[in-house]
Amino acid sequence: MNNFTVAIALLMLAALAYQLGLTKGRGVVALAGHRATHSRPGYHGALAILRAAVPAFVVYALWVVFGNQVIHSLVLESIPAEFLPQDSLQQKVMLQRLSNIASGFGVLGDAQPYELAAADVMRQFQGVGETIVTALMATVAALGLFWSWRTTTAETRARNKVERAINVALIACSAVAILTTIGIVMSMLGESLRFFQMVSPTDFFFGTVWNPRFATMGAEGQSGFGMLPLMAGTLMISFIAMLVAVPVGLMTAIYMAEYASSRTRSLVKPVVEVLAGIPTIVYGFFALVTVGPILSSIGAAIGVDIRATSALTAGLVMGIMIIPFISSLSDDILTQVPKTMRDGSLALGGTKSETIIKVVLPAALPGIVGAILLALSRAIGETMIVVLAAGNSPVLTANPFEAVSTVTVSIVNQLTGDQDFASAQSLVAFALGLTLFVMTLILNVIALVIVRKYREQYE
Amino acid sequence: MNMTQTLNVPMSTSGSSVKTDSGQLPAGNASTNIKLSASDVRVFYGQAEALHGVSLDIVKNEVMAFIGPSGCGKSTFLRSFNRMNDTVAGARVTGKITVDGRDIYDPSVDVVLLRAQVGMVFQKPNPFPKSIYENVAYGARLHGLAANKSDMDEVVESSLRRAGLWEEVKDRLEAPGTGLSGGQQQRLCIARAVAVSPDVILMDEPCSALDPIATSIIEELITELKKNYTIVIVTHNMQQAARCSDRTTFFHLGDLVEIGDTAQIFTNPQQKRTEDYITGRYG
Ligand SMILES: Nc1ncnc2c1ncn2[C@@H]1O[C@H](COP(=O)(O)OP(=O)(O)O)[C@@H](O)[C@H]1O
Ligand SMILES: [Mg+2]
């Protein structure tokens, strides 16, 4: 019984159920007439699927999720105590080995007699389990079909029931997204708590030295985990990026929404949006091999010491990367400002630019602020450009011409290469990740609040 | 003044449009009193001609009503008087329109100043997403009509008074204009237009989005405003035209069909099409 056969069987079952429901529904209509029948035959078909195929699927899903656990515990019980490892990790390894033997996959080394016996037990339980589940699915499906067939009458509100099922399905789908987010946060939270057992939060949040590679594991009062230099680097680069992206992006949006002819617009807009499709690693080496050296030589020419890989380089290129986010979103928002608003200003003798500055932009402001904050959280989370172009030097500096490092870069550094996931050196990545997450969350909440405030005021 | 020149233009070149009353007043009729004058005005949207050569004169301090079935070109014609058709992509105006005898489509005319002189109120109230005060001050600010804050306060107050809104909003000038009721919003838009001291106010179905009470307030207001402004009002509502206009023009399918004193148009129309329309045979 593999997933593919089950899927085919369930689909066939669904088709059968639909046909039966449809036939019954048509029969009802033929008897009672169109007017007196609550739901059209198609709905009876759909309802039959809900009653027969869905429960069968649920039975199978439960088996897939919990079946192995049950079998494994039964198998473990059957193993003589002297061979049974105490450690749960060892037990897992053993079970893996047993299921390999049971499925005839083959294992390293010779299988011990007790292992062969246990594998046999496992195979038996699996066989029995599958038989039971198949029988159960068939029963449930048959009951569902029978129930549908017997209870379908002219009054059956199949239409409303299908509607409710769709509702439930939609809620379930959105729950997946929410639950995933919660899961991510919980796992980050758990690892971060482990980290904070080794390093005090004060040292982490307010420490000014970031040098985790050389801290000796297990030593009391670990140092070198201060995230301030990273946070400063992140904020400085994001700030430079916004300095580039906000004016350029807004101007582009205004040009496209207000001045460009529709032909120019249909040409310019896709081209700008292509910028958003370039992989950030490409921006990264663009920054590294082109922008950095240029900035450096400009600096040399005017007598300022600018490093090739610096906050400025990374910020500039990141700003270019973000332009399309701001311009494209703002353009959509500007074109949504109703024409009547513009007409009101023009009819009072306002020029085009006066109208844009005094009426269109203020009306679009909430949306534009939202776009900017969205772009900002993009900038804060951006990784590849800074890995390549920021210089990876975690020092606390206010000089944008210096090399810096960021939170994201440090996460990459701490998690690449051979890592012991029980060490503070690796766990710190989760604390950093959580900090980033909270920051972007706060930004998004602020964006929401601003947008709502303006909406209340203006609508 | 170039009245003679205006009068030399043929009434209408569109054969289907037969008018008993000429749109333009005889030369002897107090020529200096003519505020707006149109001769052989045609408006095209792309290739399509929406207005087929319309000529008429509008006198100072009169209320002129434009009536006619939907799509007959009333708004199009109205928008020609403050060149709002310029803002419509593909729209083109030919013929001649004068305000105080000056050709407004002449290249030397500053559209911005023209629109200050010929104000407009739209079908749907369209206050800016700003405070009541800022809405009224907007145009005055653009044209630099107030030297300081107290001047501006005065402009705002007098404009709101003229629009009959002052008593209702004087305690909440800082509240958003969009928070007012529909009728108040429309009066706010009138105040906004009045604040730039125009001589003409064009109104395009100003009451079509309002309830009957708000409508009657605006109608009274129009009668009041007539003392200081020349008003052109497009309306769907014939009672409204009858109640508050001095003269009425009936348009049909892009033609000016009949123009005359409001009383005469409604009691004794000379044209069959006018009669059919005002008796409700088509709408
Ligand atoms: N922006 C436009 N583009 C193309 N055609 C238009 C436009 N505005 C109006 N028209 C056309 O011009 C004619 C007159 O319209 P309009 O002046 O709005 O009529 P009214 O105000 O009398 O209802 C209609 O046939 C309409 O379809
Ligand atoms: Mg209209």
Closest-lying ligand 1 atom to the alpha carbon of residue B66? 22
> Distance between CA atoms of A364 and A350, rounded to whole angstroms?
18
CATH at residue A427: 1.10.3720.10
pLDDT on residue A223: 66
Chains A and B: how many Cβ contacts under 8 Å?
71
ipTM above 0.95 for this complex: no
> Distance between CA atoms of A383 and A314, rounded to whole angstroms?
10
Contact criterion met (CB below 8 Å) for B49 and B254 = yes
B78 lines ligand 1 (CB under 6 A): no
Are residues A355 and A429 located together in one domain of the fold? Answer: yes
Is A106 within a domain? yes
Contact criterion met (CB below 8 Å) for A379 and A237 = yes
Is A286 within a domain? yes
pLDDT on residue B4: 38
> Where do the domains of chain B lie?
2-23+32-278
> Distance between CA atoms of B129 and B138, rounded to whole angstroms?
11
pLDDT on residue B5: 38
Is A197 within a domain? no
Are residues A84 and A221 located together in one domain of the fold? Answer: no
What's the number of domains chain A is made of? 2
> Distance between CA atoms of A422 and A326, rounded to whole angstroms?
41
> Distance between CA atoms of B6 and B57, rounded to whole angstroms?
10
Contact criterion met (CB below 8 Å) for B91 and A304 = no
Last residue of a domain, one of A156, A181, A215: A156
pLDDT on residue B75: 94
pLDDT on residue B11: 39
B70 lines ligand 1 (CB under 6 A): yes
Are residues A230 and A104 located together in one domain of the fold? Answer: no
B76 lines ligand 1 (CB under 6 A): yes
> Distance between CA atoms of A227 and A214, rounded to whole angstroms?
16
pLDDT on residue B31: 57
Instruction: List the residue whose alpha carbon is closest to atom 14 of ligand 1.
Output: B73
- Cα(A450) to centroid of ligand 1, in Å? 39
Is A189 within a domain? no
Are residues A285 and A401 located together in one domain of the fold? Answer: yes
Q: Which amino acid is at B185?
A: Q
Which residues of chain B lie closer than 8 angstroms to A333, CB-CB? none
Are residues A147 and A282 located together in one domain of the fold? Answer: no
- Ligand showing the shortest atom-to-Cα distance for residue B89: 1
B54 lines ligand 1 (CB under 6 A): no
Are residues A438 and A358 located together in one domain of the fold? Answer: yes
User: What is the best residue among B51, B67, B76 to mutate for testing ligand 1's pocket, by most ligand atoms within 8 Å of CB?
Assistant: B76
Q: Quick one: how far is CA B188 from the chain centroid?
A: 17
Contact criterion met (CB below 8 Å) for B75 and B254 = no
pLDDT on residue A311: 92
Are residues A264 and A359 located together in one domain of the fold? Answer: yes
Burial B74-100 (b: 16+ CB within 10 A, else e): bbbbbbbbbbbbebeeebebebbbbbe
Is A200 within a domain? no
Mean pLDDT in each 10-residue stretch from start to end of chain B (283 residues)? 38 40 54 87 95 94 94 94 91 94 93 94 92 94 91 94 92 92 93 93 92 90 92 92 94 94 93 90 62
> Distance between CA atoms of A420 and B208, rounded to whole angstroms?
74
In B, minimum Cα distance to A364 occurs at: B129
pLDDT on residue B13: 38
* Residue A399: closest CA among A226, A240, A211: A240
A293 touches chain B (CB under 8 A): no
B44 lines ligand 1 (CB under 6 A): no
Q: What are phi and psi of B96, to 5 degrees?
A: -135, 135
Instruction: Note the helical H segments in A213-338.
Output: 228-254, 262-277, 280-286, 292-302, 311-336
> Distance between CA atoms of A428 and B2, rounded to whole angstroms?
86
Paired sense of beta strands B200-204 and B118-121, if any: parallel
Instruction: List the residue whose alpha carbon is closest to atom 4 of ligand 1.
Output: B45
Are residues A234 and A369 located together in one domain of the fold? Answer: yes
Q: B176 to chain A nearest CA, in Å? A: 7
> Distance between CA atoms of A288 and B262, rounded to whole angstroms?
78
**Any idea of the CA torsion for B201, B203, B206, B208, to the nearest 10 degrees?**
170
Helices (H) then strands (E): counts for chain A? 17, 0
The top-level CATH class assigned to B2-23+32-278 is alpha beta
Mean pLDDT in each 10-residue stretch from start to end of chain A (459 residues)? 86 93 90 86 92 92 89 85 81 84 77 84 89 93 91 87 93 94 91 89 88 57 79 94 95 92 88 88 92 92 88 94 91 88 94 93 87 90 89 86 90 81 84 92 85 62
Instruction: List the residue whose alpha carbon is closest to atom 25 of ligand 1.
Output: B71
Range of the domain at A58: 3-156
pLDDT on residue A10: 92
* Cα torsion angle, B9, B14, B15, B20, sign: negative
Is A350 within a domain? yes
Three-class DSSP category at A185? helix
Three-class DSSP category at A88? helix
Paired sense of beta strands B230-234 and B247-252, if any: unpaired
A96 touches chain B (CB under 8 A): no
Neighbours of B105 (CB within 10 A): 17
pLDDT on residue A313: 93
> Distance between CA atoms of A7 and A13, rounded to whole angstroms?
10
- Tokens for B69, please give them: 């079935």
